[in-house]
Amino acid sequence: MSFKGASMKHEWFAMMVLFACLVPCVGAVDAAGSKAASDDDPNVPYRTFDSTPAITMGPLLLDMSDTSVIIEWMTDAPSDGRVSYGEGKLDHDVLPQVDGMVPVGTMHRVLIEGLKPGSRYQYRIASRRVVALKPYWPDMGKTVESAIGSFTTFDAAKKTTRFAAITDTHENVERIHALMDLIHRSPVDFVVHTGDSLNYVVSENQINDRFLGPMASGLQAKTPLLYVRGNHDYRGEMARSFGDYLHAQDGRYVYTRDDGPLHMVMVDTGEDKPDGTQVYAGLNNLRDYRTQELTWFRRVLDDEPRTKAAPFTVVFGHDSSWGWVDGKNDLWTQAANQARIDLFIAGHEHRFQHIKPGERGNDFPILVVGQDQVARVEASDAELTVKVVDRAGKLVDAFTLRRKPKS
């Protein structure tokens, strides 16, 4: 064969290969614009590659309520995610969707609803690798599954509850491990973190490696986390996306929860400096946000029946002075006084403080948990007991609050 003939043969072969590659995209629509039958043919398979994602964080139980919970985890490669769950057996599945599409990424957040209060559920997470998210026949990989975990939903009718509170871990992994080991020396129903999990929020890897991963490991896939935002959580290039990882179920940082004798109000105390402070370069608008939040705070304290019916109302926030609120800190204290809350638990100062009623115009004690401390709280219908210990397990403070009338 001549050089010219060989060249033509190679060109013809190259054109056929190119045509074959274009068929799934171009050939899917005929000249009249009608969809080719193969696009709707359930027997046409997508390609599956020998590529399995790894679970790099979680599962983490976030924002438990009496009828719902968020389950979060991360994978090392883009994947979908689903949760199987049930009482006694995994007979329910939740496949999340956003505008009709299953989310694909490395962060997975699944809300399970319709649960029964005070009930124990088993669950398992699963993620399937998405190799190439093409418009037709995406290239897929294999599925990774977690071990079976369990959780118990909150129940406002139960007689007692117990929890632990920590704060200001500031991406110190060794600190998180030490505090979580201390917490698990005796059982708790949930853990509250009152903010400043990071120094500033810069990347998903940092969120995973420096906070969510160590917390998920310490919570052992069975103890729920309730999170309160701190002022350092406002800082950094990914601070505006931090809620994708730590928002409550309704997409906000402020929410209420009930478990046993406790009615819990989670507030966002914002930044600790005015919006006009030059370090923010005019990119904060806490003035309007906190004004709206104060309206919400007053409403939930006035309108939610459990504020008056629950034996104890506990407010959680990062800054015990309510953060920067344009000189209106006293309005928050007045609202809390009027509702006759029982306790405010905060952090921010990196040192322990027990601010007694009357010292700041407050009719309730304010507990400021130190950076390397755990506050352990137990509540019954009659009393609420608080113990604060340091990382060595040494007792820092202890006190008991008696139930008081709410009207």
Q: Is residue 27 part of a domain?
A: no
Q: 233 and 179, same structural domain?
A: yes
Closest CA to 89 of 150, 21, 33, 2: 150
Helices H / strands E in the chain, number of each: 8, 20
pLDDT digits (tens, 9 = 90+) for 146-192: 999 999 999 999 999 999 999 999 999 999 999 999 999 999 999 99
For residue 343, the enclosing domain spans 161-402
Q: 172 and 205, same structural domain?
A: yes
Q: What is the pLDDT of residue 112?
A: 98
3-state secondary structure of 104: coil
By DSSP bridging, strand 262-266 and strand 255-259 are antiparallel
CATH of the domain at 317: 3.60.21.10
Domain count, the chain: 2
Q: Is residue 31 part of a domain?
A: no
Taking CA atoms, 163 is separated from 169, 184, 393, in Å, by: 18, 11, 16
Q: 195 and 82, same structural domain?
A: no
Q: 200 and 67, same structural domain?
A: no
* Backbone phi and psi for residue 286, each to the nearest 5 degrees, phi listed first: -70, -25
Q: What is the pLDDT of residue 13?
A: 40
Q: What is the pLDDT of residue 38?
A: 56
Taking only the tens of pLDDT, the chain with its 407 residues reads: 333 444 444 444 444 333 334 334 333 333 333 344 455 677 778 999 999 999 999 999 999 999 999 999 999 999 999 999 999 999 999 999 999 999 999 999 999 999 999 999 999 999 999 999 999 999 999 999 999 999 999 999 999 999 999 999 999 999 999 999 999 999 999 999 999 999 999 999 999 999 999 999 999 999 999 999 999 999 999 999 999 999 999 999 999 999 999 999 999 999 999 999 999 999 999 999 999 999 999 999 999 999 999 999 999 999 999 998 887 899 999 999 999 999 999 999 999 999 999 999 999 999 999 999 999 999 999 999 999 999 999 999 999 999 999 87
Looking at 121, 152, 183, the residue that finishes a domain is 152
Q: 173 and 139, same structural domain?
A: no
Q: 267 and 118, same structural domain?
A: no
Q: 196 and 131, same structural domain?
A: no
What's the CA angle centered on 132, arms 128 and 136, to 5 degrees?
100
DSSP 185: T
Q: What is the pLDDT of residue 7?
A: 41
Cα–Cα distance, 59 to 40 (Å, whole number): 36
Q: 398 and 264, same structural domain?
A: yes
Q: What is the pTM of this model?
A: 0.89
CATH of the domain at 127: 2.60.40.10
Q: Is residue 32 part of a domain?
A: no
Q: 194 and 107, same structural domain?
A: no
Q: 69 and 179, same structural domain?
A: no
Q: What is the largest CA-CA distance in the chain?
A: 103
Q: Is residue 137 part of a domain?
A: yes
Q: What is the pLDDT of residue 160?
A: 98
Q: Is residue 70 part of a domain?
A: yes
DSSP 339: T
Looking at 152, 170, 202, the residue that finishes a domain is 152
Q: What is the pLDDT of residue 1?
A: 39
Q: 287 and 189, same structural domain?
A: yes
Q: What is the pLDDT of residue 18?
A: 39
Cα 289 versus chain centre, distance: 21
Q: Is residue 50 part of a domain?
A: no
Looking at 90, 121, 152, the residue that finishes a domain is 152
Q: 317 and 234, same structural domain?
A: yes
3-state secondary structure of 321: coil
Q: Is residue 29 part of a domain?
A: no
Label residue 52 exposed, middle or buried (CB < 10 Å: 0-12, 13-18, 19+). Answer: middle
- The encoded tokens of residue 373 equal 């401390």
Q: Is residue 338 part of a domain?
A: yes
